[in-house]
Chain A
Amino acid sequence: MAPSKIEPRVHKRVLSDQQRRRDLALQRQQECRRNLQLHARRLAAGLSSGGEENEGGDEDVVEAEEFEESYEVEGEGGGGESSSTKEDLKDLGLRQGTRLKGAKAREWFSKQLMLPEWMIDIPPRLKTDWYVMSRPAGVRCVVVSSNGTTVSRQRNGRVLHHFPSALPNGARTRDVSCASSVFCILDCIFHEPDKTYYVLDLMCWRGYSLYDCNTEFRFFWMNSKLAETDALKPASQYHRYRFSVLPVYECDVGGLQAAYSAPVPFTRDGIIFINRHAHYVLGSTPLSLLWKDSICSEYPVDTDSKGNVPQYQQVVLVLGDDGSLATSDDPPVVLGTMPRQFLEQHDQHLKPGTCLRFNVGDQGLRIVDGKPLFADIHFQGGAGRNKIADTSNKILYQYAARRDPLTISNLVAAVESTDDEGDFSMTG
């Protein structure tokens, strides 16, 4: 007799763990595969940051063994000098760079920041291609977490703090320490009043380079990855300084106003515009722009060491072998010459490479094609040991600020006008 075609149901279901074990094994395998692929891809993202000619090496990723011997580098090239050393340092990958010490480290680190230009005029497509953010007043620095500690270095390469942090491998605690290959590099402003590192940008995360990624991606990465750590939490014993991610706005009217005047927990010192397609390039770039006025900054115009606005615009220029006085642009722009006689008189202090301070006289600057060609400069004295010569862009900005500054209404107008662009239609 044919039995019922309908199977009885499972009564008081019994456990079956075997399929569960299979599934969990499969899940583990898929996760490992995915991690490995992500690894390969992040690795890949860093590969070409050395430039087109730098084929295929994975310089940007610090290998575990190599990090072990980190501090041996000190001795190797110790005696090297001047231009050849500079070239070497420039070409060093992150791997070598982050393990330098002393003067070399200072030199290397002094070149690791992307430096915004001053906004002299408004770039096209400001609204569509740029982000805008408030800039905290404070010390700009590179923060590196590696080998269980965190070091922040100022623009001149000097160490600001040496501290434990909750960044990956930023402290010797079980939570954050990891393989020695793991390290991070962040672009920050240290804001003294609330002892907080405000993160402007992220160059390296857990050993993976982001230099060659566009701003959009770096910011996305910066926000999502920092949030995964405890670095944004309040300071504690193993996390001495809090980190904080700056809000980034679309460059529309609302965003511009927020960056310009919305309440922030820090002293504002101007606003930064950054092009969303820009990679993180070292040194000065027109794809990142700084703008200030007296509302969003205490110091819209340069002040002296006492905080007073001097009567004349001051510029710092570097003295060349031939007595030329030049900006720090690459190539340098020569704005004048030191009289030979004067140099000979003061040859103990005025060595080539020294930075000197000048007043800009009444005749001002001669500007051709947006570049200064000549300046009416008057020698004031040495600029101080750690000063760097001004860029022509800074000189121009300060020059404009004293005469015909770009105002917030100019900026709003620029953004509003691009607002309309989309509505334009051909009627011919």
Chain B
Amino acid sequence: MALEVTQILLNAQSPDGAVRKVAEENLKQFQEQNLAAFLISLSHELANNDKPPESRKLAGLILKNSLDAKEAPRKAELVQRWISLEPAVKTQIKASLLQTLSSLTSDARHTSAQVIAKIAAIELPLSEWQELVGNLLANMGGPNVEQPAHLKQATLETLGYVCEEVSAEVLAQEQVNSILTAVVQGMNSTETSNDVRLAATRALYNALDFAQTNFENNMERDYIMRVVCEATLSPEPKVRQAAFECLVSISSTYYDKLSVYMQDIFAITSKAVKEDDEPVALQAIEFWSSICDEEIEIQDEYSGDFTGDSEVPYFRFIKQALPALVPMLLETLTKQEEDQDQEEGAWNLAMAGGTCLGLVARTVGDDVVPLVMPFVQENVSKPDWRCREAATYAFGSILEGPSLEKLTPLVNVALNFMLNAMKDENNHVKDTTAWTLGRIFEFLHGPSVNNPVITQANLPLILAVLLESIKDAPNVAEKVCGAIYFLAQGYEETGVTSSPLSPFFQGIVQALLATTVREDAGDSRLRSSAYETLNEVVRCSTEDTAPIVMQLVPVIMQKLNSTLEMQILSSDDREKQSELQALLCGVLQVIIQKLGASETTKYGVVQYADQMMSLFLRVFACRSATVHEEAMLAIGALAYATGVEFGKYMQEFYRYLEMGLQNFEEYQVCAVTVGVVGDICRALDDKVLPFCDGIMTQLLKDLSSNQLHRSVKPPIFSCFGDIALAIGEHFEKYLIYAMPMLQGAAELSAMQTIRDDEMVDYNNQLRSGIFEAYSGIFQGFKNSKAELMVPYAGHILQFIENVYQDKDRDDVVTKAAIGVMGDLADTMGVNAAVLFRRSVFYKDFLDECTSSDDQQLKETAQWAQVTINRIIAA
């Protein structure tokens, strides 16, 4: 059955495009003609030690790709295809794969390990291939059988991948026990092969999630921890790194079991941070960052109230380690790399140390300050730039966490120093200083801060420095943008007509615009940051600067227009154009929303509506997903601002609206478009009717598609409500399609039994969406078509009851549910009286909501109560 595929596989990797194409075509044909033979041939190729490594590797990769895919629907299809193969075929393939693990060609072993794990992911949950774990463990040898190191290495790698692929409940505890035993033996210091030790350590990383039971057992846990700690001392750096990665994972998975090991772990990590290779030291620091994450989460969860009742203990490891931990971290700060600030994605010891210090500050608050400030004071003026930068970074890192009382006096002293430091001769020092200024504005400035560090007196100097430094090197300028962003944000206050920033508004806007056109604005994300800062500055602007915001409209439109004339010769050009359009559409969206929100400034947008719309349509014509989304968002804001006038753009805009609704792959785009449909319904009201057939068709298709990301479904239901409310009785014709969808979704959500947080959130969103749909439909039918809802009313009330009984129901869904109950009574009138008379729960639900502290919920519930009482009394 197997065919000779070596040459085709080699050809498929040929540098000659034509050869490659033919080979790919051949493979495709073979696969379509006889899948079983195709897969067997590939597995034989992979297993055959006489074949070239290149063809073996590709055979393995194709095998792997025929078992798994990123997209869920494709993946399901592949899984189904594998399951329906003849058992004999599958057995033959699996045997070849296992055999490959003993090959001397490491690539072949490695690929085979991956393929085995993919098959295991399909078969183990179906209780098939039960012998796999046993087969693999046999490869590890025993007291009297010594197996070759390369086989043990490949086997451990396979075990690791299997653990990564399958979920914990799939393996029986005995299987877990034997896997862990094999893995821990492989990690042991008595193991002579570094390759085996490394594979074992990496396998343990994947197997940790399975070890819940073993971690409950003191002896087993002690043993695992000892082996891991010993592995951090291995002569092989990769083993040490992998061992620290295990510790990081243990710190979050088994925080509650760590107490007795912390002393040792501190010694190990601090040795690694001081002496070891950077990749190892980074993981050692990551261990402490991860402990901080855990303790911050515990504090959040219990809001500082540790009564001892909680399930997760709070050990205050960080607070206990503080006197030793902080000096260790401070020491890393002077180990900067040259040019680290210009390099995107750079990550080194100094960065990791500073980041960890920031987390420590968030974990322990005030206690960190006296340990850090002497370092800051000692180093911030030293001639060596590394010292100055490290001191500034340390200071900036602790600005989040400690109390304002503790920080304010320090920042009051430091602020002038920082402003001066923006003239430092060293780029890194300026970069970190600007970042620190941004953190000062983010955490110590704002309407809720009692003793603001920014005053009328120092604001002019602050702005003078920022607007000068924004001309500095791109990485520094980018941090300055961030500082301006938070400076503006701190002045955001609703209901005021002027802001302390108003006198400087024009200057800030000009400086940001000038930044966007710098030659080097493409570096360090400078252009994006400048535009995004402009957005925030506009959002936080007040009435007195509205004229300047209005003047910005033609300026940004002009810029958007010039992107349409850019010369596009390569995909790189295309990407640049699309990025720029996204940024500019973003700015316009923010301006439209800002000016459109007030009657007095709305004309500033409306007068340009025609031109803006025509620009957005031309941007759509360039076809790029990200632009599509930003332009779509801007159009939603425009519809909101123009109201019914938006109708004149609908003919032309409609096709893009439809395109957006069809974008399954980029679900954000689809979601944004669904939101815009809502905007348009509210703007056009019943004038949206001519477009509703198309829109509803598309929305119904979206709902039926299993390709669409589930997060888009709740907004689609809400959108039904928007449409129904806009077109009223005309929604009748969609009722026979929409109601079964709504009922189906409601039933499905009522049956939902999985109780993880994510699922609970999603279920609440879904239900809110369903209720919003019902509300819109009821309200829309109230005047003329109430009788259409008679067949559905019982079901809807039942659904409300199900949701009422659900202990995981959140505030949003509660509000929506009580609203629908009132809408049902209000629309159906006496027709619904009998339903309510028969129902018991609704009174309790009303009682619960009318006694709520949430004003809006209370109002809605009281309204519902009055409405229901009225129909029952009638």
Chain A residues packing against B (C-beta within 8 Å): 1-2, 4-6, 8-9, 11-12, 14-18, 21-22, 24-26, 28-29, 32-33, 36-38, 40-42, 44-45, 48, 52, 56, 174, 212-214, 216-217, 220-221, 224
With A48-B870, A216-B862 as given contacts, are A40 and B640 in contact (CB-CB < 8 Å)? no
User: Are B529 and A14 in contact, CB atoms less than 8 angstroms apart?
Assistant: yes
Interface of B is mostly: helix
> In the bound complex, how far is the Cα of B827 from the Cα of A56, in angstroms?
10
- Contact flags B763-783 to A (C-beta < 8 A → 1, else 0): 000000000100110010011
> In the bound complex, how far is the Cα of B865 from the Cα of A367, in angstroms?
41
- Contact flags B710-730 to A (C-beta < 8 A → 1, else 0): 000000001001100100000
- Which of B202, B533, B682 counts the most chain A CB atoms within 10 A? B682
Q: How far is the CB of B537 from chain A (nearest CB, A)?
A: 11
> In the bound complex, how far is the Cα of B586 from the Cα of A15, in angstroms?
14
CB closest residue in chain A, given B678 = A29
For this complex, 6 residue pairs linking A to B, each with C-beta atoms less than 8 Å apart, are A6-B248, A8-B345, A17-B531, A32-B682, A45-B863, A174-B600
User: Are A17 and B725 in contact, CB atoms less than 8 angstroms apart?
Assistant: no
> In the bound complex, how far is the Cα of B481 from the Cα of A52, in angstroms?
63
CB of B867 within 8 A of chain A? yes
**B-side contacts of A16, CB under 8 Å:** 532
Residue from the list B286, B479, B858, B867 in contact with A12, Cβ < 8 A: B479
Given contacts A41-B826, A221-B859, 15 further A-B contacts (CB under 8 A): A2-B202, A6-B283, A8-B282, A9-B355, A15-B482, A15-B528, A16-B532, A22-B668, A25-B637, A28-B593, A29-B679, A33-B682, A40-B779, A41-B860, A48-B870
**B-side contacts of A212, CB under 8 Å:** 866, 870
**B-side contacts of A33, CB under 8 Å:** 678, 682, 718, 721-722, 772
**A-side contacts of B772, CB under 8 Å:** 33, 37
User: Are B779 and A15 in contact, CB atoms less than 8 angstroms apart?
Assistant: no
> In the bound complex, how far is the Cα of B599 from the Cα of A174, in angstroms?
11
> In the bound complex, how far is the Cα of B640 from the Cα of A371, in angstroms?
62
Q: How far is the CB of A162 from chain B (nearest CB, A)?
A: 27
Q: How far is the CB of A254 from chain B (nearest CB, A)?
A: 21
Q: How far is the CB of A417 from chain B (nearest CB, A)?
A: 27
User: Are A25 and B636 in contact, CB atoms less than 8 angstroms apart?
Assistant: yes
With A32-B682, A33-B722, A41-B823 as given contacts, are A8 and B279 in contact (CB-CB < 8 Å)? no
Residue from the list A17, A26, A56 in contact with B535, Cβ < 8 A: A17
Interface residues of B in 456-507 (CB under 8 A from A): 478-479, 481-482, 485
**A-side contacts of B482, CB under 8 Å:** 14-15
User: Are A214 and B866 in contact, CB atoms less than 8 angstroms apart?
Assistant: yes
CB of B819 within 8 A of chain A? yes
> In the bound complex, how far is the Cα of B558 from the Cα of A144, in angstroms?
50
User: Are A21 and B535 in contact, CB atoms less than 8 angstroms apart?
Assistant: yes
**A-side contacts of B586, CB under 8 Å:** 17-18, 21
CB of B446 within 8 A of chain A? no
> In the bound complex, how far is the Cα of B871 from the Cα of A52, in angstroms?
11
CB closest residue in chain B, given A58 = B783
CB of B515 within 8 A of chain A? no
User: Are B867 and A45 in contact, CB atoms less than 8 angstroms apart?
Assistant: yes
**A-side contacts of B401, CB under 8 Å:** none
CB closest residue in chain A, given B533 = A15
Residue from the list B245, B347, B533, B783 in contact with A8, Cβ < 8 A: B347
**B-side contacts of A52, CB under 8 Å:** 874
**Interface residue count on the B side (C-beta < 8 Å):** 79
User: Are B862 and A220 in contact, CB atoms less than 8 angstroms apart?
Assistant: yes
> In the bound complex, how far is the Cα of B784 from the Cα of A216, in angstroms?
31
User: Are B593 and A24 in contact, CB atoms less than 8 angstroms apart?
Assistant: yes
- Which of A18, A212, A216 counts the most chain B CB atoms within 10 A? A18
User: Are B675 and A44 in contact, CB atoms less than 8 angstroms apart?
Assistant: no
With A29-B679, A36-B725 as given contacts, are A22 and B283 in contact (CB-CB < 8 Å)? no
CB closest residue in chain B, given A277 = B869
> In the bound complex, how far is the Cα of B346 from the Cα of A2, in angstroms?
19
10 closest Cβ contacts across the A-B interface?
A17-B532, A8-B347, A40-B779, A11-B351, A44-B826, A217-B862, A12-B435, A15-B532, A56-B783, A9-B355
**B-side contacts of A21, CB under 8 Å:** 535, 586, 589-590, 630, 633
CB closest residue in chain A, given B826 = A44
Q: How far is the CB of B349 from chain A (nearest CB, A)?
A: 12
CB of B536 within 8 A of chain A? yes
Q: How far is the CB of B544 from chain A (nearest CB, A)?
A: 14
User: Are B529 and A11 in contact, CB atoms less than 8 angstroms apart?
Assistant: no
> In the bound complex, how far is the Cα of B721 from the Cα of A266, in angstroms?
50
**B-side contacts of A1, CB under 8 Å:** 238
> In the bound complex, how far is the Cα of B870 from the Cα of A48, in angstroms?
10
With A41-B819, A41-B863 as given contacts, are A4 and B589 in contact (CB-CB < 8 Å)? no
CB of B352 within 8 A of chain A? yes
CB of B799 within 8 A of chain A? no
> In the bound complex, how far is the Cα of B779 from the Cα of A38, in angstroms?
11
Residue from the list B202, B431, B682, B860 in contact with A36, Cβ < 8 A: B682
Q: How far is the CB of A10 from chain B (nearest CB, A)?
A: 8
- Contact flags B417-436 to A (C-beta < 8 A → 1, else 0): 00000000000000110010
> In the bound complex, how far is the Cα of B355 from the Cα of A193, in angstroms?
68
**B-side contacts of A37, CB under 8 Å:** 725, 772, 775-776, 779, 819
**A-side contacts of B600, CB under 8 Å:** 174
**B-side contacts of A2, CB under 8 Å:** 202
> In the bound complex, how far is the Cα of B775 from the Cα of A44, in angstroms?
13
**B-side contacts of A41, CB under 8 Å:** 779, 819, 822-823, 826, 860, 863
With A9-B355, A11-B355, A217-B863 as given contacts, are A25 and B672 in contact (CB-CB < 8 Å)? yes
User: Are A15 and B722 in contact, CB atoms less than 8 angstroms apart?
Assistant: no
Q: How far is the CB of B54 from chain A (nearest CB, A)?
A: 19
User: Are B866 and A45 in contact, CB atoms less than 8 angstroms apart?
Assistant: yes
CB of B38 within 8 A of chain A? no
**B-side contacts of A6, CB under 8 Å:** 245, 248, 283, 286
User: Are A40 and B637 in contact, CB atoms less than 8 angstroms apart?
Assistant: no
**B-side contacts of A224, CB under 8 Å:** 855, 859
**B-side contacts of A214, CB under 8 Å:** 866, 869
Residue from the list A12, A29, A38 in contact with B675, Cβ < 8 A: A29
- Contact flags B214-229 to A (C-beta < 8 A → 1, else 0): 0000000000000000
**A-side contacts of B668, CB under 8 Å:** 22
> In the bound complex, how far is the Cα of B352 from the Cα of A8, in angstroms?
8
**A-side contacts of B241, CB under 8 Å:** 4
**A-side contacts of B675, CB under 8 Å:** 25-26, 29
> In the bound complex, how far is the Cα of B532 from the Cα of A52, in angstroms?
57
CB closest residue in chain B, given A225 = B859
CB closest residue in chain A, given B815 = A34
> In the bound complex, how far is the Cα of B636 from the Cα of A28, in angstroms?
10
CB closest residue in chain B, given A11 = B351
